[in-house]
Amino acid sequence: MNMPKAADAAPLDDEMLVMDVADIFRRAIDIPLDSRPRADAALIERLRTLYLQSGIEVSDQVFGEGLAALSEGRFVYAPRRGLATGLAQLYASRLQWGRPVGAAFLVLAIVCVGYFFGYRPYEAAQAEQARIELTQTLPAKMDALYDAIFNDTKVQTASDEAATLREQGKEAAGKGDRAGAESAIADLTALRNQLEETYTLKIVDTDGVKPGFWTFPPNNSEATNYYIVVEAVDGTGNVLSIPITSEDTGVTQTVSRWAIQVPQSVYDSVMADKQDDGSIQHNLVGFKQDGFTDVDYLIPVLGGALTQW
């Protein structure tokens, strides 16, 4: 089969030529449509030559209308705007945004499930547990400790102190003050332990440790305070650690040795006993009995104590 010659090609009507000219000019001039000047004569002549080579003769009117159509934006596809168009474009680009959005929704779903079915129930359980402890468990501990103290004590002051601590602790628990309630329980426990302790208070008689010392009071350099160093020993010979409040700092520390203030006569007697043969013969200071809070002293004491010297 022979291809038709250029002269035998199907003729284009003027409207189609105008469209073709506008399209060629749009592709040939790479600047925005709204700022394009008229095509120069050289470009028109080159285009005219292309048409003639195809057997098409284009008039100057067609070129003019093509340039006019180009400047007016005719024959240019302008997509419709609107919700339907936007949704259609969104759907058409789903392969681009689908996976990231899907992953984000998956993460959000996991977070929501974890929050509503994990954290929220856990938080509610914790709150309920705290409520039960403040309204039931901690007050019950206070009652049990108070009963133990009341039944064990042999002094009214311990019973009265326990009653005050229990009242303060329950008041704190009723206000939701867990720290205050636990502090009351700690004080009640310490009081119960103090009542249950039994030991003998002795002067420390160990090589390298002075059994006594003297010092000047912080607020009176003309006076002198005398102390002997003591320790608490239980029935099996073990040295106990006892909470002692130091008179110089007001701080309570649990120590195995501490110093108690005594008259000078007692201090002199202890030091003389030590110097006699290197051992203290009369080392008993007092006894702590079950049910009592204080030591029954066998020697005169002045009430002060030091935990560091």
Domain assignment present for 86: no
Would you say residue 107 lies in a domain?
no
Percent of the chain with pLDDT over 70: 87
Separation CA 58–CA 46 (nearest Å)? 12
Do both 253 and 298 map to the same domain? Answer: yes
**Residue 203 lies inside a defined structural domain of this protein:** yes
Residue 270 CB neighbours (<10 A): 23
Rounded CA-CA distance 274/212 in Å is 10
Q: How far apart are CA 25 and CA 76, in angstroms?
A: 12
Q: Is 258 a member of any domain?
A: yes
Instruction: For the chain, give percent helix, strand, coil, nearest 5.
Output: 55, 15, 30
Within-domain flag for 113: no
pLDDT in tens, 199-250: 999 999 998 889 999 999 877 778 899 999 999 999 999 999 999 999 989 9
Measure CA of the first residue to CA of the last residue in the chain; give whole Å.
125
Predicted pLDDT of residue 33: 43
Do 163 and 148 lie in a common domain?
yes
Domain end call among 196, 213, 245: 196
The Cα–Cα gap between 4 and 56 comes to: 14
Pair (186, 215) in one structural domain: no
Q: Give the CA distances from residue 277 to residues 205, 228, 273, 274, 280, in Å, rounded to whole numbers and listed in that order.
A: 12, 18, 7, 6, 8
Shared domain for 51 and 132, answered yes or no, is no
Within this chain, do residues 246 and 300 fall inside the same structural domain, yes or no?
yes
User: Residue 44, Cβ neighbours under 10 Å: how many?
Assistant: 19
Which of residues 150, 176, 196 is at a domain's end?
Answer: 196
Q: Are residues 292 and 203 in the same domain?
A: yes
d(CA 28, CA 40): 12
Q: Name the one residue in this structure whose structure tokens are 């400790």.
A: 145
Q: Which of 26, 12, 32, 27 has the alpha carbon at shortest distance from 68?
A: 26
Assess whether 228 and 297 both reside in one domain. yes
Same domain, 177 and 234: no
Cα-only R_g, the chain: 52
Write down which residue in 196, 225, 247 finishes a domain: 196
Tell me what percent of the residues of the chain surpass a pLDDT of 90.
Answer: 52
Note whether residue 122 is domain-resident. yes
Instruction: Give the Å distances, CA to CA, from 264 to 210, 228, 270.
Output: 16, 10, 10
Check pLDDT > 80 for residue 78. Answer: no
pTM over 0.85: no
222 shares its domain with 285: yes
Local structure of residue 13 (DSSP, 8 states): P
Residue 223 inside a domain? The answer is: yes
Residue of 288, 294, 299 lying closest to 264 (CA atoms): 299
The one-letter code for the residue type at 167 is E
Q: Per the structure, how many domains does the chain have?
A: 3
Q: Are 144 and 185 in contact (CB under 8 A)?
A: no
251 and 298 co-located in one domain = yes
Per-residue pLDDT at 10: 42
Q: What is the pLDDT at residue 295? A: 96
- Do 236 and 157 share a domain, yes or no? no
Q: Which residue has the higher pLDDT, 76 or 192?
A: 192
Lookup: tokens for 229: 């160093």
Q: Is the predicted pLDDT of residue 7 greater than 90, yes or no?
A: no
Distance of CA 104 to the CA centre of its chain: 27
Task: Give the structural domain span for 129.
Answer: 118-196
Contacts of 59 (CB under 8 A, 6+ apart): none
Determine, yes or no, domain membership for 2: no
Residues 229 and 279 in one domain: yes
pLDDT above 60: residue 29: no
